[in-house]
Structure 1
Amino acid sequence: MSVYILVVDDEPDVEALFRQQFRRDLKSGRFMMEFAPSAPAALQRAADIKDPSLILILSDINMPGMTGLEMLPKVRAERPDVPVIMITAYGDAETRRKAIENGAVGLLTKPIDFALLRLEIDNRLGQAA
């Protein structure tokens, strides 16, 4: 079974950054990463991956159109089995509160601590096995 992580961010350089950080995992097939440039595209992708192989969604908060915080309750309603971690440049208490209230399991601030994210991914992979 292929295991997917969905990364949602409107900045094109984010995909290259994630692919570089997780290149060994991706090359070995430990998990696959899908990238969505917007919240609506992410909602569609989350709906398309029907089986439990979608194990984590990482979403930026500040995006044009629908924000990550606006997407969060929609994706949680569609896929309550998939944890969502929000990513923001502004890790203030109010943003954290809104993210958690809307169903996020965590909030990462930019620049992303990839060691911490790797631990979270390892934990999700362990739960999916």
Structure 2
Amino acid sequence: MSVYILVVDDEPDVEPLFRQQFRRDLRSGRFQMEFAASAAAALQRADELRDASLVLILSDINMPGMSGLDMLPVVRARRPDVPVIMITAYGDVDTRKRALEHGAEGLLTKPIDFAVLRREIDARLGQAA
């Protein structure tokens, strides 16, 4: 069974950055990364990956249309089994509080510390095994 991580961000440079950072994991098949450029696309993809193979959603907060904070309670209601970590350029206390109140497992600030993110992913993969 393939294990998926869904990354939600409207910025086009996010996908190549993540693919570069996790190239060994992706090449070895340790997990797969899916990318959605909007909250609506992410909700659709989360619905399509109905089995237990979706182990983590990483979502930007500030996106046009539906924000990550708006998407969060919807995806948590539809997929309560999948943890969501929010990503933002603004790691202020209010943003962190709102994200956690809406069901986020955590909040990462940009620029992303990929060592911290790798530990989060390793923890999720350990739980899925």
TM-score interval (norm. to shorter) = over 0.9
The residue number in structure 2 matching 1:67 is 67
**Once the 2 structures are TM-superposed, how far is the Cα of residue 107 of structure 1 from its aligned partner?**
0.1
Unaligned runs of 5+ in 2: none
Deviations 1:97-121 (A, max 9, x none): 0000000000000000000000000
**Once the 2 structures are TM-superposed, how far is the Cα of residue 96 of structure 1 from its aligned partner?**
0.1
The residue number in structure 2 matching 1:85 is 85
The residue number in structure 2 matching 1:37 is 37
The residue number in structure 1 matching 2:121 is 121
Rounded to whole Å, the distance in 2 between the matches of 1:62 and 1:123 is: 26
Unaligned runs of 5+ in 1: none
The residue number in structure 2 matching 1:55 is 55
Residue aligned with 1:116, SS? helix
Rounded to whole Å, the distance in 2 between the matches of 1:63 and 1:4 is: 22
RMSD between aligned alpha carbons?
0.2
Rounded to whole Å, the distance in 2 between the matches of 1:83 and 1:113 is: 19
**Once the 2 structures are TM-superposed, how far is the Cα of residue 20 of structure 1 from its aligned partner?**
0.2
Q: Percent identity?
A: 81
Amino acid at match of 1:109: T
**Once the 2 structures are TM-superposed, how far is the Cα of residue 39 of structure 1 from its aligned partner?**
0.1
The residue number in structure 1 matching 2:8 is 8
Deviations 1:24-58 (A, max 9, x none): 00000000000000000000000000100000000
Indicate yes or no: 2:96 matched with 1:103.
Answer: no
Residue aligned with 1:107, SS? strand
Amino acid at match of 1:39: A
The residue number in structure 2 matching 1:18 is 18
TM-score scaled by length of structure 2 = 1.00
Rounded to whole Å, the distance in 1 between the matches of 2:39 and 2:128 is: 25
TM-score scaled by length of structure 1 = 1.00
Residue aligned with 1:57, SS? strand
Rounded to whole Å, the distance in 1 between the matches of 2:93 and 2:52 is: 32
